[in-house]
Amino acid sequence: MSDNVAVTVTILGKEFRVACPAEEQAALLASANLLNTRMQEIREGGRVVGADRIAIMAALNLTHELLQNRNQREALSQSVTGRIRVLQDKIDRALEMGQQMEF
């Protein structure tokens, strides 16, 4: 178990101190950077005013992307699983034919 470290992240010009395990520090900084970038993009778009609303819009956008990626991974996994089943069936049939030919 690793010790927590205090990490300072800056989001929309405000600093926040966050504790996290030392081995996750780089991931936290990358996450904070992505969130800050998205929030700045929303703010610069000019349609959303207020840090709370900007944060909610950024969270909704990131969550939407996460769910889309998850759905794509699941669809790909199902496709691969289906292909593996087809190949396994072909292998099984070929082995059966090979055994029948031996007799």
Q: Which CATH number do you get for residue 93? A: 3.30.160.880
How many domains are contained in the chain? 1
Average pLDDT, consecutive stretches of 10 residues, N- to C-terminus, the chain (103 residues): 89 95 96 96 90 94 97 96 96 87 67
- Residue 46: predicted pLDDT: 86
Range of the domain at 86: 4-102
Of 68, 67, 38, nearest to 55 by C-alpha is 38
- Residue 38: predicted pLDDT: 95
| Residues 6+ positions from 11 with CB-CB distance below 8 Å | 32, 35, 36, 39
- Residue 88: predicted pLDDT: 96
